[in-house]
Amino acid sequence: MQSVFLGGGTPSLFSPQAIGQVLDFLHAQLPLAPGAEVTMEANPATIERGRFAEYRSAGINRVSLGAQTFDPAALKALGRIHVPADVYRSVEELHAAGLDNFNLDLMFALPGQTRAGALTDLREALRLAPTHLSHYQLTMEPGTVFAARPPPAMPDDDLAWDMQEDCHAELAAQGFEHYEISGFARPGRQCVHNLNYWLFGDYLGAGAGAHGKLSWPERGVIERTTQQREPRRYQARPVEGLERRTVDPLDLPFEFALNALRLPAGFDLGLYADRTGIAAEDLLPQLEALERRGLLEHQGERWRASPTGLRFLNDVVASFLRSKNS
């Protein structure tokens, strides 16, 4: 096993001893590769002083910290329970514990945010010396409170694009590689766990609400699993409550593109066959059609989204959907 990711909420609410027990159990069942990445998500408001050193001793070697923004008013508008001082304290604790491999989650296009404000927010995050930055645009997801009652003064699409361009240029100038559509990393610090997702690899999902993916490409079978979200129901039926779904082969081009095209470097065409069990030539006509529209480009067997394609990636990916009636 190459990586472990403890996420899906606030795993830092668990004691270091409990995290250590989980990792010890994993080691016994599925031995980790030497130097495997072991990430824990953390909310800046829930970390007690000295805890990161204990988490490191328990086996954590990478942390993802949900900073979101350094603007107190924006944090309040987003409904976050922490304040900027919590982020500064948490990062200080990370450095003191020797956990220098950490990610900061940062949003832009926030209510009332200006172009200069987005860049100031980013520079404040970089001042804390993260090795990885996840830089997301705030979006109104269906079914959320924000979608039902959008906050006032949301930046329009053109302003959000300008913010993104400014911030991407700043990240490049500071030596961060843009390796995933929202992911930026110092050399050698890309998130191994997330790269496995984007390259359509397999992973096990354990715990309430966890998702997993297992494949047998030689048989043309890919299975997705989902655990029950409500913790008490999950604890009552951890095995029986597991939902399994075999992916329809007609959906595989879409599912593969949904992941692999998030990588600005793209993917080798042979990976499609290796990960899906479907001949690479099956995907080629769609790739070539998108190339003619200026949305994809390729060099040899490596395909990737063009700059225009990255901007309209949702539309690019949607074009891989296939009708089951055709």
Residues 33, 112: one domain? yes
> 97 — phi, psi (to 5°)?
-85, -5
Residues 112, 162: one domain? yes
- In angstroms, the CA 174 to CA 22 distance is 37
Residue 103: give its domain's CATH number.
Answer: 3.30.750.200
> Per-residue pLDDT tens for 30-62?
988 999 999 999 999 888 788 999 999 999 999
Residues 109, 203: one domain? no
pLDDT the model gives residue 144: 62
Among 151, 169, 190, residue at a domain's last position: 190
Residues 166, 306: one domain? no
Residues 154, 215: one domain? no
Q: Which residues in the chain show pLDDT less than 50?
A: 325
Residues 208, 318: one domain? no
Residues 21, 156: one domain? yes
The identity of residue 181, as a single letter, is: I
Residues 33, 96: one domain? yes
Residues 32, 175: one domain? yes
The range of the structural domain enclosing residue 166 comes to 3-190
| Number of domains the chain contains | 3
Residue 293: give its domain's CATH number.
Answer: 1.10.10.10
Residues 176, 234: one domain? no
On the CB side of 326, how many CA atoms lie within 13 Å of its CA?
A: 4
Residues 161, 234: one domain? no
Residues 208, 312: one domain? no
> Per-residue pLDDT tens for 229-266?
998 999 999 889 999 999 999 999 999 999 999 999 99
- What residue spans of the chain are helical by DSSP H? 16-29, 51-58, 72-78, 84-97, 115-127, 145-148, 157-173, 192-198, 231-236, 252-260, 269-276, 284-292, 307-311, 313-318
Among 190, 213, 231, residue at a domain's last position: 190
